[in-house]
Structure 1
Amino acid sequence: MEDRTSLYSLRKTIGILGLALPILLLVTHQDLLASMSHYYYTAGSVFFILILSAFGLILINYKGYPKKEGELLSDRFITTAAGICILITVLIPTKSEKSLGTLFFTGSPYLFGHESNGFLGAVHLLSAGLFLFLLGYMSFFKFVLNHQASESRNRLFKRSGIIVWASVGTLVMIFALEAILGINFDTIIPAYTFWIEWVALYAFAVAWLVKGRIHLDLEKMIKTFHTEKSMNKH
């Protein structure tokens, strides 16, 4: 029972952090940038580094359920791989160029910041994309294995996974078109990467919150509120 409670807590923590990240970045820096990764070079770096590092450490320590017969990958393998990917994303940040907005920490070395369009930039993009893909996989294939879960919950998990994958696929397609056609889609839809990342982040955050049974906590809070309100009347 204690292990299950711990799993629920870890899932809710991941979900809450996912919901909070883009809001905290915008509130802290108060300027829309090309991607969430560009906030590494702003005052929002505090939240960017802390939250993504927390993602990584929690996922690496997330055991999940034991691998069942016939399953290709275990929960532990998927979340550990995702955790490593997001830690790489933090350690090797995106290039500081083409941010669309004001950056605070440019012109001088800042942590592991760089202006490279080559190897470092590719590693950052690949690790970030793989992180999202694996969490989409977790939602679509793993969260639905609980036979006691309702069909509506399983539909939500699958849709969340599809949204995450669609977001990653859309970014890959746009990046490819930009490279082939030599255009910048930010001139058409400013900060399109940021908005697509937000959609993907919220899709998997909602899935993890539901898997962590956040609704039971909300029901308990509402029940407690009504009980206290009733007692105060008397």
Structure 2
Amino acid sequence: MEDKKSMYSLRKTIGILGLALPILLLVSHQQLLSSMSHYYYTAGGVFFILILSAFGLILINYGGYPKQEGERFSDRFITTVAGICILITVLVPTKSENPLGTLFFTDTPYLFGHQSNSLLGTIHLLSAAFFFFLLGYMSFYKFVLNHNASASRNRLFKRSGIIVWAAVGTLIIIFAIEKLLNINMDEVFPAYTFWLEWVAVYAFAVAWLVKGKIHLDVEKMMKTFSQEKSLEKH
């Protein structure tokens, strides 16, 4: 029972951190940047590094359920690889040169920052994309294996996975168009990467919160609040 409680807590922590991440980045820097990764070079870098590192450590330590017959990968394997990917995303940040022209605040690179290393930039993008892909996989395939769960709950998990994949797929298509046509889509749709990342992060955050049975905590809190109000009346 204690292991289950711990697993639920880890799931809820991932969900809560996911919901908080884009908001904290915007509030801390108070300026819209090209992507969440670019907040690494701003005051929001503290939140970016801490939350993504927390994602990595939690996912690596997340046990999940044992591999069932017919499954190719265990929960633990998938989350461990996802955790390593997001830690690489932190340790190998995006380049600091202004990808948004006048919209982007160019700061001095610090910690592991760099200005124009294309190899490091590619590693950063691939690790981030694989992280999202694996969390989409967890939602779409792994979270629905509980046959006692309601159909509506499993539909939510499936849709969350699809949304994560759709957001990442859209980014890949846009990046390819930019390369092929030598254009900057940020001039047409400022910070499109940031907004699509927000969609992907919120999709997996909601899935992990629901999988962590956050509704039980809400019900318990409401019940406690109701009881306190009842006592006040007496």
Same fold (TM over 0.5): yes
TM-score by length of 1: 0.97
Deviation at 1:68, TM superposition (A): 0.5
Task: Specify the alignment match of 2:222 in structure 1.
Answer: 222
Unaligned runs of 5+ in 1: none
Task: Specify the alignment match of 2:192 in structure 1.
Answer: 192
The answer to whether the 8 Å contact 2:140/2:157 transfers is yes
Task: Specify the alignment match of 2:107 in structure 1.
Answer: 105
Task: Specify the alignment match of 1:9 in structure 2.
Answer: 9
Q: How far apart, in 1, do the equivalents of 2:117 and 2:189 lie?
A: 21
Q: How far apart, in 2, do the equivalents of 1:86 and 1:22 lie?
A: 16
Matches within 5 A, 1:176-215: 176-215=176-215
| CA separation of 1:117 and 1:192: change in aligned 2, threshold 3 A | farther
Task: Specify the alignment match of 2:233 in structure 1.
Answer: 233
Task: Specify the alignment match of 1:43 in structure 2.
Answer: 43
Tell me which amino acid in the other structure corresponds to 2:60. Answer: I
Q: CA RMSD in A?
A: 0.9
C-alpha offsets along residues 184-230 of structure 1, whole Å, 9 cap, x if unaligned?
00011100000000000000000000000000100110111011001
Deviation at 1:98, TM superposition (A): 2.7
Task: Specify the alignment match of 2:118 in structure 1.
Answer: 118
Q: How far apart, in 2, do the equivalents of 1:180 and 1:104 lie?
A: 26
> Matched residues, percent identical?
78
C-alpha offsets along residues 147-193 of structure 1, whole Å, 9 cap, x if unaligned?
11100000000000000000110000000000000000001110000
Q: How far apart, in 1, do the equivalents of 2:158 and 2:225 lie?
A: 33
Task: Specify the alignment match of 1:28 in structure 2.
Answer: 28
Deviation at 1:103, TM superposition (A): 3.2
Tell me which amino acid in the other structure corresponds to 2:70. Answer: G
Unaligned runs of 5+ in 2: none
The alignment partner of 2:144 has SS state of helix
Q: How far apart, in 2, do the equivalents of 1:204 and 1:117 lie?
A: 30
Tell me which amino acid in the other structure corresponds to 2:87. Answer: L
The answer to whether the 8 Å contact 1:89/1:124 transfers is yes
2:136 matches 1:147: no
Tell me which amino acid in the other structure corresponds to 1:103. Answer: F
Deviation at 1:146, TM superposition (A): 0.5
The answer to whether the 8 Å contact 1:91/1:112 transfers is yes
C-alpha offsets along residues 116-143 of structure 1, whole Å, 9 cap, x if unaligned?
2511000000000000000000000000
Tell me which amino acid in the other structure corresponds to 1:198. Answer: W
Deviation at 1:104, TM superposition (A): 6.1
TM-score by length of 2: 0.97
Q: How far apart, in 2, do the equivalents of 1:61 and 1:90 lie?
A: 18
The alignment partner of 1:145 has SS state of coil
The answer to whether the 8 Å contact 2:98/2:104 transfers is no
The answer to whether the 8 Å contact 2:98/2:105 transfers is no
